[in-house]
């Protein structure tokens, strides 16, 4: 931030020197120097919007898909134990842990989660029996791919490296995967997707707020500095 020299008040030379220093540093203030590069703000906003859109899209898809799975999967109070879905990245995290994450970790976790979820979702696409459902899933996959790209864009804009891309997890690690367990996995996949989208919306909202006031803060500090003089 702007270094403000604290000369004793009343000293006119000191004031003049301070004023000169301020003027000298003005071109270096990032908030005043952002005419060309809009920064990561818009892309964060876009990612946030995309997250909300995906939430909406998932609501429709999940309704259709759970109806396809049949009762009890489409019953509102159905809450099975997470039997075989350990491989799915879980969005559930302790609040304190979540708060202690920095932006980079937050984004990296999002990125990793969605890249895994996307692979699983494509597996879901493979065994859906009806053509209409497959079309919906393919559409959602495309949107999710877009979100992944968006997150990568935000990370790049903030100067964070992308997390290493692991090998694509195969959807059937258990060879004789029964239809029922498959349905359970599908259920959990949709549920985790939803939770992740909620979490992402929160993450990006937080990030958005964090990015926005940075420019204003600089201006405020400048004003404060001037009044100090």
Partner 1 sequence: MEVYFYLRLLSKTGENKRMKNSSKFQWLSSVIFLYLVNQAHGQKRGVPHDLKCITHNLKVWDCSWEASSRINHGTTYEICIVNSSYPCIQTEKTHFEIPALSLAEHEIKISSMHVSGNSVTKFILNERSVSLVPATLQIFNLTADFSTSTLYIKWNDNGSVLPRHSNVTWEIVVLYKEDMEVATIATLNTTLIGKDSLHHWSWTSDIPLECTLHYVKIRYYIDELHFSGQKEWSEWSPLRNISGPPIKENYEVFPQDKVVPVGSNMTFCCVVEEPVLTAQFGSERCSLIRLDNKSVAIEINNITVSPSSGTNVVFTTKSNMYGTVVFAGYPPDIPRKLNCETRDLKEITCSWNPGRPTGLVGPRDTNYILYERFSGRNVTYNRDEEHMNENHQLIFQMIAGQEIYNFTLKASNPVGRSEAVILVDVTRKVYPHTPSKLIVSDIDPTAIILHWHLSGNFANITLLCEIEINTAYSGQELRNITVKGLETSSYRVSVDRLMPYTMYTFRIRCSSENFWKWSKWSNEKQYLTMEGVPSKGPDIWREWSADGKSVIIYWKPLSINEANGKILSYDISYWSEEGKQHLKIPDPQHRAKIQLDRNDCIISVVARNSAGSSPPSKITSMEIPNGENLKVEQIVGIGSGMLFHWNYDPNMTCDYVIKWCNSTRSEPCLIDWKKFPANSTGALIEYDNFRSGTRYNFFLYGCKNQKYQLLRSVVGYTEELAPSVAPNFTVEDTSADSILVKWEDIPVEDLRGFLRGYLFYFEKGEKGTSKIQGLESGRSDVKVKNITDITQKTLRIVDLQGKTGYHLLLQAYTDGGIGPGKAMYVVTKENSEGLIIAILIPVAVAVFVGVVTSILCYRKREWIKETFYPDIPNPENSKALQFHKSICEGSSTLKTLEMNPCTPNNVEVVETRSAAPKIEEDTEIKSPVADGPEEGSDAEPENHVVVSYCPPIIEEEIASAGGEEAGGSSQVIYIDIQSMYQPQAKPEEELEKDSVGGAGYKPQMHLPVTSTVENMIAADGLEKAAGYRPQTHVTAWNLDSPDSPRSIDSNSETVSFGSPCSVNSRQFLIPPKDDESPKSSNGGWSFTHFFQNKPND
Euclidean distance between CA atoms 134 and 137, whole angstroms: 5
Q: Write down the least CB distance from residue 75 to partner 1, Å.
A: 8
Nearest Cα neighbor of 70 from 205, 227, 182, 219 is 182
Per-residue tokens: 106: 């937050």
Nearest to 64 by CA among 125, 121, 138, 136: 136
Residue 122 binds partner 1, judged by CB under 8 A: no
* Residue 213 binds to partner 1 (criterion: CB under 8 A): no
**Residues 6, 72, 149, 213: which binds partner 1 (CB under 8 A)?**
72
Contact call for residues 151 and 114 (beta carbons, < 8 A):
yes
All residues at 6 or more sequence positions from 134 whose CB lies less than 8 Å from its CB, including other chains: 125, 128
End-to-end CA distance of the chain: 17
Task: Give the phi and the psi of residue 35 in degrees, each rounded to 5.
Answer: -70, -35
Q: Which is nearer to partner 1, 180 or 198 (CB)?
A: 180
Q: Does 70 bind partner 1 (CB under 8 A)?
A: yes
Q: Which part of the chain contacts partner 1 (CB under 8 A), choosing from 46-54, 69-77, 86-94, 219-227? A: 69-77
Give the integer Cα–Cα distance in Å for 182 and 124.
9
Taking the complex as a whole, how short is the minimal distance between the CB of residue 134 and partner 1, in angstroms? Answer: 8
Using CB under 8 A, which of the segments 29-37, 142-150, 175-183, 215-223 binds partner 1?
Answer: 175-183
Query: Quick one: which segment of 21-29, 40-48, 86-94, 127-135 binds partner 1 (CB under 8 A)?
Result: 127-135
178 touching partner 1, by CB under 8 A: yes
Binding site for partner 1 (CB under 8 A): 68-73, 75, 80-81, 83, 127, 129-131, 176, 178-180, 183-184
């Amino acid at each position: 931030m702007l270094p403000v020299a604290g000369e004793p008040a009343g000293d006119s030379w000191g004031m003049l020197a301070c004023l000169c220093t301020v003027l000298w540093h003005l071109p270096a203030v990032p908030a005043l120097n952002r005419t060309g590069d809009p920064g990561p703000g818009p892309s964060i906003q876009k990612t946030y919007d995309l997250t909300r859109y995906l939430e909406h899209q998932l609501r429709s898809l999940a309704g259709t898909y759970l109806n396809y799975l049949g009762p009890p999967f489409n019953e509102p109070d159905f809450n099975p134990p997470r039997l075989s879905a350990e491989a799915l990245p879980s969005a559930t995290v302790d609040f304190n842990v979540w708060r202690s994450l920095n932006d980079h970790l937050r984004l990296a976790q999002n990125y990793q989660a969605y890249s895994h979820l996307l692979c699983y979702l494509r597996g879901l696409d493979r065994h859906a029996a009806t053509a209409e459902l497959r079309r919906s899933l393919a559409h959602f996959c495309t949107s999710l791919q877009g979100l992944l790209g968006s997150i990568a864009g935000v990370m790049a804009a903030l100067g964070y490296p992308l997390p290493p891309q692991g090998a694509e997890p195969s959807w059937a690690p258990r060879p004789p995967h029964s239809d029922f367990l498959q349905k359970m996995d599908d259920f959990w996949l949709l549920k985790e997707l939803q939770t992740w989208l909620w979490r992402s919306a929160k993450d990006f909202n937080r990030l958005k707020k964090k990015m926005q006031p940075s420019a204003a803060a600089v201006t405020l500090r400048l004003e404060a500095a001037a009044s100090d003089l």
